[in-house]
Structure 1
Amino acid sequence: MARTTSDIVIGASPSRIMDVIADFDAYPSWATGVRVADVVATTDGRPERVHFVLEASPIKDQYDLGYVWKGDHSVSWHLVERGSMLKSMDGSYELEPLDDDSTRVTYTLSVDVSIPMLGMLKRKAEKVIIDTALKGLKRHVEGTRG
């Protein structure tokens, strides 16, 4: 399965960014299309399984993602309970601290849906999802310094 990748520099530490990524209760306020993000299970104080309700036209779906956290360096996820449209989803955030107290955040995503879609269109959709998520994450982190 092909993967789509993009990155952004955020003016915050990796630990601050990872705290925001792990705060699923806040996703509906900044993550485009996410209506619900309920933590179903945790491990070592971080979410291990999260139930999502997504309404990102034309896609409306409910699904669960499983998360694997590697400190403040990376988090990866995969689909553990399919929705009606999503057949698979694998993704990750990789955080790289930079010299100027900022962090490069690289987002990688691969999605497969139950409706037929040309590979080129699927990659474009993944790119839009990634870019929107990275910009939303940057706005949220930099706007809510803690």
Structure 2
Amino acid sequence: MADQTESSVVIDSTPGNVLGVIADFERYPAWAGAVKEVEVLDRLADGRAARVRFTLDAGAVRDTYALDYTWATQPDGTGELSWKLVQSGVMKAMDGSYRLVPSAAGTQVTYRLAIDLRMPMLGMLRRKAEKTIIDTALTELKKHVES
């Protein structure tokens, strides 16, 4: 999956606070509209999530999927949290990441995503769907962190 869609937003908070919200998977249903249930299936020795199962209901798209996480973050929250799909009914693959970098106005969060569905889809439509997912996720994250 070479093609990825990417977007960024600046959130008025420290990288550590932003990463704390991103890493608190069990609370996603309270602020991420399409996420209905979350279960951390496996944790690393330090307590961070290693595998997480999500139940998604975005109207026309419903799926339960599991992601494996890789943490390349610093104690201050900067760095990258990435994931790979390990199980899904709708997707063949989903690779993504959040990259957190300090900025003068808080934290620049860059979200990258590449999805491969089990059903055929034109590349242009897939990228548009990825862009919608990314923009919605960043908007909801910013709103939640800054509230």
What pairs up with 1:82-93 in 2 under 5 angstroms? Answer: 83-93=88-98
2-structure distance, mates of 1:112, 1:56: 17
Give the residue type in structure 1 aligned to 2:124.
M
What pairs up with 1:110-129 in 2 under 5 angstroms? Answer: 110-129=114-133
What's the TM-score once normalised by structure 1's chain length?
0.93
What pairs up with 1:20-59 in 2 under 5 angstroms? Answer: 20-43=21-44, 44-59=46-61
How many residue pairs match? The answer is 141
Deviations along 1:89-114, one digit per CA (max 9) or x if unpaired, are 000000010134x0000000000111
List alignment gaps of at least 5 residues for structure 2. none
Contact 1:32 1:132 in 2 (8 A): no
What is the root-mean-square deviation of aligned Cα atoms in Å?
Answer: 0.9
Q: SS where residue 35 of structure 1 aligns?
A: strand
Q: SS where residue 62 of structure 1 aligns?
A: strand
Q: SS where residue 15 of structure 1 aligns?
A: helix
What's the TM-score once normalised by structure 2's chain length?
0.93
List alignment gaps of at least 5 residues for structure 1. none
Give the residue type in structure 2 aligned to 1:96.
V
> Identity across aligned pairs (percent)?
50
1-structure distance, mates of 2:26, 2:143: 17
Deviations along 1:48-104, one digit per CA (max 9) or x if unpaired, are 1001111112111111100011222210000012x211110000000010134x000
Q: SS where residue 115 of structure 1 aligns?
A: coil
2-structure distance, mates of 1:140, 1:24: 13
Partner of 2:140: 136
Q: SS where residue 141 of structure 1 aligns?
A: helix
Partner of 2:84: 78
